[in-house]
Amino acid sequence: MKLTNNTILISGGTAGIGFEIAKLLTEKGNHVIITGRDQKRLDEAVAKLDNVTGILFDTTKEADTDLLVSRISADFPELNIVINNAGLAYTYDVTAGGRTWEKAGNEMETNYISLIRLTEKLLPQLLKQKAAALVNVSSIVAIAPGLSVLTYSASKAAVHAYSQGLRIALKDTSVKVFELMPPLVNTEFSKEIGGAERGIPPLQVANEFVDALAQDTYEIHVGVTAQIFELARTSPTAALNALNNLEG
């Protein structure tokens, strides 16, 4: 995939991985559209970047999605890369009660259902381009679930399965399907689960992603994700134990 002169949409691009990817891609001569749910944070992010457009957008709302798609169709008909990065995670003990299904429902709606909706509504525009890409951000926990983020892991496993199937479905079109699978990253998003102490820098994720995009590496295993993936190929139990620091 060429890395210059693209028009790129990044959902959840105001901070963390999305922001660092936006920064790298604008520096390479692309026009990037970032979205966020908070106008203040969106304005602050836009002020730090060149050649970027900020659009207020809640990925969980279909009306917002329709407005976003309409604006992109009118103002950015050359859009050829979509990075589905917006996400939500809770950390809790699933055995402790507390209506965990409600949290799981929110995670699934944000991380999976909304991703499918935005993808489906933008796909006709992407299919018009000579070269296009869809990038779904999943996680290391799509390979082996994390016990403190079990329902989040399930939502990202759904994204992983969807990405694999969509790649096959679009194999004879101009649209390439990538999946970015980071490990724990030091962002505000992962603060509750130890991101500040154990997470890798979001810039590292962005750099590895951009390199992989240029090489058409469709499943991108960043950092320790590569090790967990290789372990899971021979022993899913060993990968699960390693991710959760369990014995045996």
pLDDT tens, 63-82? 999 999 999 999 999 999 99
How much is the pLDDT for 199?
74
CA 32 remoteness from chain centre? 15
How much is the pLDDT for 246?
81
- Full-prediction pTM beyond 0.75? yes
Provide the residue type at 142 as one letter.
Answer: A
Q: How many domains does the chain have?
A: 1
152 flagged as catalytic: yes
- Per the domain annotation, does 59 fall within a domain? yes
How much is the pLDDT for 191?
60
Q: Which residues, including other chains, have CB under 8 Å from residue 47's CB and lie 6 or more apart?
A: none
What does residue 77 show for φ and ψ, rounded to 5 degrees?
Answer: -65, -15
- Per the domain annotation, does 107 fall within a domain? yes
- Per the domain annotation, does 1 fall within a domain? no
Q: Which of 90, 92, 112, 152 is catalytic?
A: 152
- Per the domain annotation, does 31 fall within a domain? yes
Question: How far is it, in rounded angstroms, from Cα 188 to Cα 179?
Answer: 22
The DSSP line for 138-174 is --GGGTS--GGGHHHHHHHHHHHHHHHHHHHHTTTSS
How much is the pLDDT for 186?
80
Give the mean pLDDT of the chain.
94
Task: Read off the pLDDT of each residue in 157-186 and give the average, rounded to a whole number.
Answer: 97
Q: Which residues, including other chains, have CB under 8 Å from residue 236's CB and lie 6 or more apart?
A: 144
- Per the domain annotation, does 104 fall within a domain? yes
Where in the sequence is the domain holding 76, given as residue range(s)? Answer: 7-244
The total number of residues written for the chain in this structure: 248
Residue 156 has pLDDT above 80, yes or no: yes
pLDDT tens, residue by residue, 187-246: 666 666 655 556 799 999 999 999 999 999 999 999 999 999 999 999 999 999 999 988
Question: How far is it, in rounded angstroms, from Cα 201 to Cα 189?
Answer: 13
Instruction: Please give the share of the chain, as a percent, with pLDDT higher than 90.
Output: 88
- Per the domain annotation, does 2 fall within a domain? no
Laid out side by side, the sheet with 81-84 consists of 52-56, 31-36, 7-10, 81-84, 132-137, 175-181, 219-221
- Per the domain annotation, does 17 fall within a domain? yes
- Per the domain annotation, does 11 fall within a domain? yes
Q: The domain that contains 25 carries what CATH number?
A: 3.40.50.720
How much is the pLDDT for 98?
84
